[in-house]
Amino acid sequence: MRLPDCAGRSPGRRVAALIIKPAQSASAREAALKALVRYEKDRAYLKLVLPNLTQALPDQEKALAAKLAAGTIQHLNTIDWALRLYAKRELDTFTPWLRNLLRVSAYQLIYLDRVPVYAVVNEAVNLARHYGHRGVAGLTNALLRKLAAEVDQLPWPDPKKEPLDYLVIRYSYPSWLIKRVLERYGFEEAVKWCLANQEKPLFTARVNCLRIKPDELIEKLREEQIEAVHDQMVPDMLIINSGTGKLSRCRSFTEGLFTIQGSSSALVVALLNPQPEEVVIDLCSAPGGKTTHLAERQQDRGVIYAVELHESRISLVEKAAARLGLKSIIIVQGDGREIDSLNLPAADAILVDAPCSGLGVIRRLPEIKWRRSEADLLTFKQLQFELLAAAAGQLRSGGRLMYSVCTTEPEETVQVAEAFLQNNPDFTTLPVFPLLPPPLQPVFKGSQTLTFLPHRHNLDGFFIALWQKIR
């Protein structure tokens, strides 16, 4: 069976061309279509392009546009496989506009039971007619009606005879990644892994306890029509149950009372536990979520050197610190692998939240699974090891070194940790499970390092290791 690994390939021979007419998005479906074309042609991330495309839409339509675009990319393999059954030609022969119009419509037909078929097809035909011509509209109408008529009888691969093919098509992941998941977990748990990485993650926020108490922020957000409750697993974190679309625009956010951040990410700094007056280095600081968390945990009374290689991303750290009212952060432009050339003092603690494949946060960034290859893991592994090696030399005796990545792939996690200890005998592992919040301690009892898995812990996929320099 030929399996589609859909990563926005360049189209081949073009048929049924659509004419692009610049216009404001009149509906959520049109905004989603434009976002998908940007994703494919420009490798753009949805969260960066959707705000401009949905600016004129009401909040409900904005939310729908985001759901349609993200859902289409999340299920891209399945959608393209289904469309091929009825298109009778490779999707690469369509233009990006027609291809993605069919994709977003197929997503609704396959996955959104509450949307009537006639509404999906009519909207798609109208968009095809608006952007193209009668032939495109007719093709769209015929193909989608065929799919709708047989959507409950799609010929899925047999999970017993073709487990890899089944998971790749049924749950929509690249085959190289599913092969690894099957080898690690077996079929039954691989299904759980696939499903967990398609679920909508909790939307969480970190309270800036230097300015407000969690209970006070909950009440303040309620006044702004945003419902929040305490995160029972992670201290000083809130779960946002409603109003997420306006969270970054509300007054409490602009006043610096909280930061939007995932719970796994927040645990990194909590486990490093920086103390007031300590010198801390954040070796890969942008966009600033963990940098500002370090400052808050130190009560803004230490010194944090935020190292960032890319000048274009330094402003993200600056803006985050300014919004939260933090004064202890010193931004240093430079390559973390060359930290000895930056004239920084010996640190009490160093955080290496390293660049990685990001495969632990697929449910937040579905684009990531189509943009990574197995070869990327070794590239990231080398970079991660070089960053840790550089950090080790900048740490004072007795200092703490934290390594974290939002992935669970062995090359970037346990293999990096093992290689670091082999090459740095003056470091010892500090068990992190005793430092976890009480609800998580029984889950990881005895663990030297931490690996959070979405399908086991309902947390973003993360790996965390903590070492101490003993001499």
pLDDT, one tens digit per residue, over 289-324 is 999 999 999 999 999 999 999 998 999 999 999 999
Using 50, 70 and 90 to split pLDDT, how confident is the model at 34?
very high
Phi, psi of 443 (to 5 degrees): -70, -35
Q: Average pLDDT of 118-143? A: 88
CA angle 412, 413, 419 (to 5 degrees): 90
Greater confidence, 12 or 421? 421
**What pLDDT score does 132 carry?**
65
Give tens-digit pLDDT for 167-187: 999 999 999 999 999 999 999
Most confidently predicted of 234-238, 240-244, 371-375: 371-375
For residue 11, name the pLDDT band (cuts at 50, 70, 90).
very low
For the chain, the domains span 28-153, 163-196, 204-260, 263-469
Q: Where are the alpha helices (DSSP H) in 283-373?
A: 289-297, 311-324, 368-371
Q: Are 256 and 324 in contact (CB under 8 A)?
A: yes
Q: Do 28-153 and 263-469 have matching folds? A: no
Orientation of helix 96-111 relative to helix 28-42, angle to 10°: 130
Q: How far is CA 1 from the centre of its chain?
A: 31
Calculate what percentage of the chain has a pLDDT beyond 70: 94
- 9 or 379: which carries more pLDDT confidence? 379
- What are the beta bridge partners of residue 207? 258
Region of residue 374 (phi > 0: left; psi between -120 and 50: alpha; otherwise: beta): alpha
Pairwise CA distance, residues 302 & 298, whole Å:
6
Band of pLDDT at residue 59, cut at 50, 70 and 90: confident
pLDDT, residue 16, reads: 40
Residue 235 backbone phi and psi in degrees, to 5: -60, 150
Q: What is the mean pLDDT of residues 417-440?
A: 94
Q: How many CA atoms lie within 13 A of 211 on its CB side?
A: 19
Distance (Å, rounded) from C-alpha 275 to C-alpha 396?
A: 15
pLDDT for position 82: 96
Residue 465, H or E segment: strand 462-469
Secondary structure (3-state) at 146: helix
In the structure encoding, which two tokens stand for residue 257, read together? Answer: 């009372």
Nearest by Cα to 396 from 338, 347, 336: 347
Tell me what pLDDT residue 9 has. Answer: 41
Give the least confident one: 87-101, 138-152, 156-170, 389-403: 87-101
Res. 328: pLDDT tops 70: yes
pLDDT score of 14 = 37
Average pLDDT over residues 21-35: 78
**CATH code assigned to 263-469:** 3.40.50.150
Q: How confident is the model at residue 245 (pLDDT cuts 50, 70, 90)?
A: confident
What's the burial of 234, exposed, middle or buried (CB within 10 Å: 0-12/13-18/19+)?
A: buried
Evaluate the omega torsion of the peptide bond into residue 287 and state whether it is cis, within 30 degrees of 0. Answer: yes
Can you read off the two tokens belonging to residue 459?
A: 């947390």
Catalytic residue among 6, 194, 284, 406: 406
Structure tokens at 285: 């600081």
205 neighbors 215 (Cβ within 8 angstroms): no
pLDDT in tens, 206-225: 999 999 999 999 999 999 99
The full DSSP string for 155-205 is -PPPTTT-HHHHHHHHTT--HHHHHHHHHHHHHHHHHHHHHHTTSPPPPEE
Q: For the residues 227-240, what does the mean pLDDT come to?
A: 94
Which residues are within 8 A (CB) of 217 and not within 5 positions of it... i.e. 6 or more apart? 207, 228, 238, 252, 257, 258
pLDDT at 242: 92
Per the annotation, the verdict on 284 as an active-site residue is no
The length of the chain in residues reads: 471
Domain 28-153: CATH superfamily is NusB-like (1.10.940.10)
**pLDDT, tens digit, 9 for 90 and up, residues 335-344:** 999 999 999 9
The CATH number given to 204-260 is: 3.30.70.1170
Mean pLDDT of the chain: 92
Orientation angle between helical segments 76-87 and 163-170, nearest 10 degrees: 90
**What sign results for the dihedral spanned by CA atoms 100, 106, 107, 109?**
positive
